[in-house]
Amino acid sequence: MSKKKKKQQQNVEAVYHKKLIKRRKPNRSVWGDIFLYLFLLLVAVVMVFPIVYAVSSALKPLDELFKFPPRIFPQNPTTDNFSDLFVTMGKSWVTFSRYLFNTVFITFVGTLGHLIVASMGAFVLAKYDFPGGAGFFKLVTVAMMFTGYVTQIPNYLILNALGWIDTYWAIIIPAFASPMGLFLMKQFMEGLPTSLIEAAKIDGANEWKVFAGIVMPNVKPAWMTLIIFSVQGLWNNKAATFIYSEAKKTLVYAMQQIQSGGIARTGQGAAVLVVLMVVPIAIFIFSESQILETMASSGLKD
């Protein structure tokens, strides 16, 4: 964009920020505010309780895990469950670092590919009219009705014909084509002002510059949300149906094998839950802050 249009856009954003920062007089009574805050506090406690209980259980010694009635917080907190977990993993002929690498590689490549494919496809569907576009989007919408259990057999037959069974690509490639991401990005891109794209083209920007420099920064809440869903799905994927080699299995699969080791491994099982939920929760917290920041600093309309 030209310097003049950039300055105009900055002025619009500055005015929007001032209106956003300006406090409005609430229409509720004092008791209404108190009730609202108490309700929100109750909801927050209910939502955070499972996480607190999981962490507390992982820090309990074995005897406290079997106490009845159970206590929320440990009386004698210890990290023995975590040390025992890593000792058990260290005795496996496939190292913990290998399981971790498999999971991180699948999650990173699958999420990145899904983001690129869904964003590019959504941009074309949202901002271009071409024959069959509406029908294709209806097909994507219908595909969202089918769960992974329904499509598992067709997926296996296709991946087997391609020779991708027992490889990372058996999990990564299907993740690229998840209809949820395409639907989410397309619906969000439709709200992007077409005039903004046309102004960039008038200034000489090609399709790639429009997509990477104009569209993607303005739909940041959508692709950050997409990242949350994709990371959660791939990080927690056992991949047991498509990957058979132990050296290629994911961390979730290895952890669940330890978790099913019986009563003696109850403490390690509690530690497994904490280890598995750390990354999705961290991604969610980081992405949530970015979404709120983006929604507060944008809002262009035709």
248-286: per-residue pLDDT in tens? 888 888 877 777 766 767 787 888 888 888 888 887 777
* pLDDT at 298 > cutoff 80: no
210-240: per-residue pLDDT in tens? 888 888 888 888 888 888 888 888 888 888 7
Please check whether residue 56 lies inside any domain of the structure: no
* pLDDT at 299 > cutoff 50: no
Neighbour count for residue 203 (Cβ, 10 Å): 12
Does the pTM surpass 0.85? The reply is no
* pLDDT at 35 > cutoff 80: yes
To which residue do tokens 């901002």 refer? 127
In terms of Cα–Cα distance, which of 98, 78, 22 is closest to 267?
A: 78
Please check whether residue 3 lies inside any domain of the structure: no
* pLDDT at 31 > cutoff 90: no
Please check whether residue 50 lies inside any domain of the structure: no
Please check whether residue 289 lies inside any domain of the structure: yes
- Residue 167's identity, in one-letter code, is T
Per-residue CA distances from 53 to 41, 76, 271 (Å): 18, 15, 12
Per-residue CA distances from 188 to 18, 24, 125 (Å): 25, 28, 11
The pLDDT-based confidence of 105 (bands split at 50, 70, 90) is: very high
Please check whether residue 7 lies inside any domain of the structure: no
Please check whether residue 61 lies inside any domain of the structure: no
* pLDDT at 18 > cutoff 80: no
The pLDDT-based confidence of 301 (bands split at 50, 70, 90) is: very low
Secondary structure of residue 32 in the 3-state scheme: helix
* pLDDT at 176 > cutoff 80: yes
Instruction: Write down the H helix ranges in the chain.
Output: 3-21, 30-58, 62-65, 80-90, 96-127, 133-143, 152-162, 169-176, 179-189, 194-202, 207-209, 216-218, 220-235, 251-259, 266-297
Please check whether residue 20 lies inside any domain of the structure: no
Please check whether residue 53 lies inside any domain of the structure: no
Range of the domain at 130: 81-297
The pLDDT-based confidence of 132 (bands split at 50, 70, 90) is: confident
Number of domains into which the chain is organized: 1
CATH of the domain at 210: 1.10.3720.10
